[in-house]
A and B are shown apart, each in its own frame.
Chain A
Amino acid sequence: IAGITQAPTSQILAAGRRMTLRCTQDMRHNAMYWYRQDLGLGLRLIHYSNTAGTTGKGEVPDGYSVSRANTDDFPLTLASAVPSQTSVYFCASSDSMFQGEQFFGPGTRLTVL
């Protein structure tokens, strides 16, 4: 069982370019999340999805969009990347959003120049 996979592992991106970070889980979890973690800091929630077909905004949603077309996939899109979006991005999933263990992916390290 893979758990949660993220792609790419790392990416260097020119400012203004569009980028989609991919996240797939095989645990049939209802809830999925995207967090960003800046160097030396904690994780901040970008967007979440309680169940397939629904999404919600976290603490820092500006500049990002998500979709949840099915249970397994939760892509995060940066429509026009800016240097302040340089960060490590973690995807996670859980049975229930406000209860239960969240399982995290390995992260995507994104650098916007």
Chain B
Amino acid sequence: LAKTTQPISMDSYEGQEVNITCSHNNIATNDYITWYQQFPSQGPRFIIQGYKTKVTNEVASLFIPADRKSSTLSLPRVSLSDTAVYYCLVGVLDQTGANNLFFGTGTRLTVIP
């Protein structure tokens, strides 16, 4: 059973808003939800982090429902430079009952001119 799941890919035109959802049914109670962006041949780069409700920074918003079993990254008015792979990262209780970190499967966003 996957710890976290995301859509494999998404396409969007420049200037549109993009929403990417991550499912994490077994998220640990006290853990945060973090989203990262990754370009080819680079390490992931932090986008935004939240615990519940809504968080907004200069590049994105993060929506987390009350049950925290999913989260949605919202990128307003995407540009070509937003073409990348986007990952969610959550803490989940593993098979031994220990808290561990799991990246999502990643969503490849392609922005079309």
Known contacts being A98-B31, A107-B43, is A42 close to B87, with CB within 8 Å?
A: yes
Contacts of B36 in A (CB 8 A): 102
Q: For A102, give its contact among B46, B100, B104 (CB under 8 Å).
A: B46
Contacts of B91 in A (CB 8 A): 98
Q: Are B101 and A42 in contact (CB-based, < 8 A)?
A: no
Stretch from A13-21, A43-51, A62-70, A72-80 contacting the other chain: A43-51
Confirm or deny: B76 has a beta carbon within 8 angstroms of a beta carbon on chain A.
no
Count how many chain B residues have C-beta atoms less than 8 Å from C-beta atoms of the other chain.
26
* A86-113 with Cβ < 8 A to chain B: 90, 92, 97-107
Q: Are A48 and B101 in contact (CB-based, < 8 A)?
A: yes
Known contacts being A99-B32, A102-B34, is A42 close to B46, with CB within 8 Å?
A: no
Contacts of B46 in A (CB 8 A): 101-103
Q: Are B30 and A98 in contact (CB-based, < 8 A)?
A: yes
Q: Are B100 and A90 in contact (CB-based, < 8 A)?
A: no
Chain A interface residues (CB < 8 Å from chain B):
33, 35, 41-45, 48, 56, 58-59, 90, 92, 97-107
Chain B interface residues (CB < 8 Å from chain A):
28, 30-32, 34, 36, 41-46, 49, 87, 89, 91, 94, 98-106
* 10 A-B contacts (beta carbon < 8 Å): A41-B106, A42-B103, A43-B44, A59-B94, A59-B102, A98-B30, A98-B32, A99-B31, A102-B89, A106-B42
